[in-house]
A and B are shown apart, each in its own frame.
Chain A
Amino acid sequence: DTGVSQNPRHKITKRGQNVTFRCDPISEHNRLYWYRQTLGQGPEFLTYFQNEAQLEKSRLLSDRFSAERPKGSFSTLEIQRTEQGDSAMYLCASSPSTVSGELFFGEGSRLTVL
């Protein structure tokens, strides 16, 4: 499968714990995005990378959230000191830097904070 891959697919954690999600984009894509989706809502933008550079971060991304893409390939999203309000589906997407604007989404990582 050459699509966007995310893991883990599901994570259940206790409040206050740290969690990390990984995203492997489509290999030729140099843009990588993180979105968060809660039930009944559209995806909310969190951050995006062009290669290894983090170009924009949403104000939704508090200082408990950090994302990296150290070699311009895979990316990690870490949430420290999780809160119940962090429970959501975390979606990763990638796109090529071409005229096409299509985002290719992964299956998502579902986080449940107890």
Chain B
Amino acid sequence: GENVEQHPSTLSVQEGDSAVIKCTYSDSASNYFPWYKQELGKRPQLIIDIRSNVGEKKDQRIAVTLNKTAKHFSLHITETQPEDSAVYFCAASRDRTGANSKLTFGKGITLSVRP
């Protein structure tokens, strides 16, 4: 089955700096890669996703890049703000029918943005 790994487990940045969070996956058949943000005590929420037919996707201050050959993808957050502090989960799935069968999540990385 799919194995998704995130390293490191914590990341601290100064407000205004950029943050990069990396993820690796094992299943070369995976073709859908979302990132979820979970604030303390809240539900996970999708912030951005990418499919294997593109290499990069941007949405305002966040972007995701995908390297299929190396089987890794990264989340980039620019101009970080204190409200970006949260746990970020990457995930992967084989998206056969246009909707997910199942997502395999990484363990998450805790991002702290220092004011």
Contacts and interface: CB of A to CB of B under 8 A. Distances in A.
Interface of A: 31, 33, 35, 40-45, 48, 55-56, 91, 95-103, 105-108
B46 interface: yes
Contact of A96 (B4, B91, B99, B106): B99
A44 B100 contact: no
Interface of B: 4, 32, 34, 42-46, 49, 89, 91, 93, 95, 97-108
Nearest to A102: B46
The binding surface of chain B is classed by DSSP as loop
Nearest to A50: B99
Nearest to B51: A101
Contact of B44 (A40, A48, A105): A105
Nearest to B99: A97
If over half of A's interface residues share one DSSP class (helix, strand or loop), that class is named, otherwise mixed; here it is loop
Contact of B101 (A55, A99, A102): A55
B102 to A, nearest CB: 5
A43 B46 CA distance: 13
Interface centre among B42, B45, B91, B102 (most CB of A within 10 A): B102
B98 A107 contact: no
B101 A108 contact: no
B105 A43 contact: yes
